[in-house]
C-alpha cells in the first residue's frame, strides 16, 4: 500500500494492472483454493466419520499375537504395530487428536492473540509498547521449557498440550494482526471513523476486523500446519497425546525404533501428516494470493 503515503495521495505505482499479469486465470485461482479445501474436508471426514461408518478395529488394545503384520494383511490393510494394533485405525484416530488440537490452538490464538494485537496496534503508544514487550517475552522464551512443564506438572493430556501450544500461537497471531492494523491506521477510512466519533470497539470489530481478516485467517491456515507439526514433535518427545492413544507424532516416534524392519509404521502416519499439512499450507497460500489480488 505504497499509494497512501505519497504526497496528495497520488499513486506512483498503478500496481493493480501489474498484479493482474502474474495472477493465475480465474478458474485456476478457484481450483487452487477448492482442491486443497476439498482435501481438508476429505481428511476431516476420514478421521471423524470413517471410524463410525466402517467397521474398523480399535486403535488400542490389540492382540500381541497380531504384532508387526505387513501392509496388505487381511483385516489390516496397512498392517499392525508392535502391540498388534491396526495401523489404519491408529492413523485415523491419531488424525482426530492432531486436528482437534490444531483447530483449538489456532482458534485460541486467533481470538486472544488477534484481538490483543489489533487492539495494541489500534491504541498505540504506551499500551502498544507494553503489550508487545510482554509478548516478546513469550516469543523469546524457549517453548519447550513451558510445554515440558505444562505437560509434566499434571501429566500429559490433550488439554495441557492445547494450553501449552496456545501460549505460543497467541504472540504469533498478535504480531500478524498488529502489523496488519498498523498498515491500515493511516488510511482515510480510519480518520473518517474517528471523526464520526465511532467508539473504539466498534472501529475494531466493524472496521478493522474485516480488513485484517484475510491476513489473519491465512496465517491461521498456515498455523494449522505448524501446530500439527509441533504437536507431533511434542508427542515425539513423549509429551502431547499420552500413549497408548495414537497421535501421528507418537506413532512416528514409536515406529522409529523398528525403522529398518518395518518402515511402514513410520511411513503411514508421516504420509498422513504430510498430506494434511500440505493441504492446509496450499489452502492458506492460495487464499492469500486470491485475497491480495482483490
Number of continuous H segments (helices) and E segments (strands) in the chain? 13, 0
Part in contact with another protein (CB under 8 A); list of ranges 58-66, 201-209, 211-219, 258-266: 258-266
Residues 90-129 that bind another protein (CB under 8 A): 124-125
What are residue 80's DSSP bridge partners? Answer: 86
Q: Is 10 in the site for another protein (CB under 8 A)?
A: no
Give me the least distance between CB of 233 and another protein, in Å please.
Answer: 5
Task: Give whichever of 143 and 211 is closer to another protein, judged by the CB atom.
Answer: 143
Total residues contacting another protein (rule CB under 8 A)? Answer: 48
39: buried, middle or exposed (CB in 10 Å: 19+, 13-18, 0-12)?
A: middle
Among 45, 49, 111, 149, binds another protein (CB under 8 A): 149
Among 7, 12, 52, 210, binds another protein (CB under 8 A): 12
Return d(Cα 261, Cα 251) in angstroms, integer.
Answer: 15
Give me the least distance between CB of 218 and another protein, in Å please.
Answer: 14
Q: Which residues of 261-293 are buried (b: 16+ CB within 10 A; e: fewer)?
A: ebebbbbbbbebbeebbebbbbbbbbbbbbeee
Give me the least distance between CB of 79 and another protein, in Å please.
Answer: 17
Return d(Cα 44, Cα 238) in angstroms, integer.
Answer: 25
Site track 150-169 with another protein (rule: CB under 8 A), x = hit: x-xx----------------
Among 192, 201, 259, 293, binds another protein (CB under 8 A): 259
Q: Is 141 in the site for another protein (CB under 8 A)?
A: yes
Task: Give whichever of 45 and 134 is closer to another protein, judged by the CB atom.
Answer: 134
Q: Is 187 in the site for another protein (CB under 8 A)?
A: no
Part in contact with another protein (CB under 8 A); list of ranges 50-58, 73-81, 138-146, 210-218: 138-146
Q: Is 22 in the site for another protein (CB under 8 A)?
A: yes
Give me the least distance between CB of 55 and another protein, in Å please.
Answer: 30
Let me know the angle formed at the C-alpha of 226 by 250 and 263, rounded to the nearest 5 degrees. Answer: 35
Long-range interactions of 37-43: CB distance < 8 A, separation 24+: 37/283, 39/275, 39/279, 40/276, 40/279, 40/280, 40/283, 43/95, 43/99, 43/272, 43/275, 43/276, 43/279
Among 8, 10, 52, 145, binds another protein (CB under 8 A): 145
Residue with cell 500440505: 278
**Cβ-proximal residues to 150 (8 Å cutoff; 6+ apart), any chain:** 160, 161, 163, 164
Residue with cell 478458474: 27
Chain residues that interact with another protein, rule: CB under 8 A: 5, 12-13, 15, 18-19, 21-22, 124-125, 133-134, 136-137, 139-146, 148-150, 152-153, 182, 225, 229, 232-233, 236-237, 252, 256, 259-260, 263, 266, 270, 273-274, 277-278, 281-282, 285
Amino acid at each position: 500500500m505504497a499509494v497512501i503515503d505519497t504526497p496528495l495521495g497520488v499513486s506512483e505505482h498503478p500496481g493493480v494492472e501489474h498484479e493482474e499479469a502474474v495472477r493465475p486465470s480465474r478458474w485456476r485461482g478457484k481450483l487452487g483454493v477448492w482442491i486443497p479445501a476439498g482435501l481438508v474436508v476429505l481428511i476431516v471426514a476420514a478421521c471423524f466419520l470413517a471410524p463410525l461408518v466402517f467397521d474398523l478395529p480399535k486403535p488400542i488394545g490389540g492382540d500381541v499375537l497380531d504384532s508387526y503384520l505387513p501392509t496388505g494383511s487381511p483385516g489390516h490393510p496397512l498392517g499392525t504395530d508392535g502391540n498388534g494394533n491396526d495401523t489404519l485405525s491408529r492413523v485415523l484416530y491419531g488424525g482426530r487428536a492432531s486436528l482437534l488440537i490444531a483447530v483449538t490452538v489456532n482458534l485460541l490464538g486467533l481470538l486472544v492473540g488477534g484481538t490483543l494485537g489489533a487492539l495494541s496496534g489500534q491504541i498505540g503508544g504506551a499500551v502498544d509498547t507494553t503489550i508487545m514487550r510482554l509478548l516478546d517475552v513469550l516469543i523469546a522464551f524457549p517453548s519447550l521449557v513451558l510445554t515440558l512443564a505444562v505437560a509434566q506438572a499434571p501429566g500429559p493430556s490433550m488439554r495441557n498440550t492445547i494450553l501449552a501450544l496456545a501460549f505460543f500461537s497467541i504472540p504469533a497471531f498478535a504480531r500478524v494482526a498488529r502489523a496488519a492494523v498498523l498498515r491500515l491506521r493511516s488510511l482515510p477510512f480510519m480518520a473518517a471513523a474517528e471523526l464520526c466519533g465511532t467508539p473504539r470497539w466498534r472501529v475494531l470489530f466493524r472496521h478493522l476486523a474485516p480488513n485484517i481478516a484475510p491476513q489473519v485467517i491465512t496465517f491461521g491456515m498456515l498455523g494449522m500446519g505448524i501446530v500439527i507439526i509441533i504437536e507431533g514433535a511434542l508427542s515425539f518427545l513423549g509429551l502431547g497425546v499420552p500413549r497408548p492413544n495414537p497421535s501421528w507424532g507418537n506413532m512416528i516416534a514409536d515406529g522409529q525404533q523398528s525403522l529398518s524392519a518395518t518402515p511402514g509404521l513410520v511411513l503411514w502416519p508421516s504420509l498422513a501428516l504430510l498430506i494434511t499439512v500440505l493441504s492446509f499450507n496450499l489452502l492458506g497460500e492460495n487464499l492469500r494470493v486470491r485475497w491480495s489480488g482483490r
